[in-house]
Amino acid sequence: MVAVAHGQIEDFATTNFTKADSVAQLYPQYSLRDMHGLARKLSEPLSTDVEKFRAIYLWTCLNIENDYYLFRENQIKRARLKDAQEVAKWNKKFYPIVMEALLKKHRTVCTGYAYLIRELALHAGLSCVMIDGYGRTSQANVGGDAKPNHSWNAVRLNGKWYLCDATWSSGAIDMGKREFSKSYNDTYFLLEPHLFIANHYPVDSAWTLTREKPTLLEFLQKPLVYSGALQHKIYGFEPETFTIHVERGRPTTFRFKDRGHLALDKVELQIKAYGTSSLFPKEFRQTPDGYISVEHVFTSRGHLILHLLVNGTYVSSYTVDVD
């Protein structure tokens, strides 16, 4: 069991990462046949452990690509597997393929990202582990049966464990174009555990690093939360389930909390039904218990998709059955 910690990026609010980020950009496409040498180059010019890890993390995100074809092969195969034994057997077969692509082509899937982060950190003298679990996206682990489909890392800095996901920081797979779209996203670098768990659930629940741990079933049934919400420190979405049932003609309340002291400009609901999409700007109010609250009256029966936008950014989604 790992001890509960509450590590978060705010612990390093006074740390200037400019030098670490500059170091991370000095060695593009450096050979991974020499991980020890790369780790030394990324860490030795820096004085603190968090700067060393920052350079390792950013280098990985900038130089490694998520391989679309390996991603799809893994995704399709895992969807057909029935139990943990079959998953373990597939992982054993797939792992050498992932590692070969990583070492030769700087291309991989989440397992390769997490492996590389861990190895570079260990070579730099930092404690770091790989975490396997369930990643939630619009295409995976939204209700239904849980499928372990993702890997990320925890790193120990100044006596605390911190969570990060280099795969999701590096960019995203564009399913339409069948390619990886590289775009660095700082959101998942040492993200607060209570935010990280919105779309990451570890196989070993101790690695949630939270005092109150939702069950896996609760995780699967929660609203779908996007990186835009986590970037702005938005959490605590209500209703608390992805699928909600409401009554036509009666107000439905949507709420969330904002820990990042967001300069809140506008809240909108985008509702999709029967091939059409409508955007509803909403008046919002702050409730005494710290929530931002909006109301909407559904006027037609049916099955709807609802997206919540804050300052023009998608933050969460629901499916709505209107009776």
For residues 7-20, one letter each, b for 16 or more C-beta atoms within 10 angstroms of the residue's C-beta and e for the rest, the string is bbbebbeeeebeeb
pLDDT for position 208: 95
Confidence class for position 260, pLDDT limits 50, 70, 90: low
What does the domain layout of the chain look like in residue ranges? 9-213, 234-322
Output the pTM of the full model: 0.92
223, pLDDT greater than 90: yes
Q: In the predicted model, what is the mean pLDDT of residues 233-258?
A: 95
pLDDT for position 1: 43
For residue 141 the two structure tokens come to: 């682990």
pLDDT for position 262: 73
Q: Provide the β-strand partners of residue 176.
A: none
206, pLDDT greater than 90: yes
Pairing of strands 160-164, 150-157: antiparallel
Q: Looking at domain 234-322, which of 2.60.40.10, 2.60.40.1260, 3.20.20.450, 1.10.30.50 is its CATH number? A: 2.60.40.10
For 9-213, give the CATH class: alpha beta
252: phi then psi, degrees, rounded to nearest 5? -115, 135
Q: In the predicted model, what is the mean pLDDT of residues 256-269?
A: 85
Q: In the predicted model, what is the mean pLDDT of residues 33-49?
A: 97
DSSP 8-class letter at 205: G
Cβ–Cβ < 8 Å for 322, 246: yes
5, pLDDT greater than 60: no
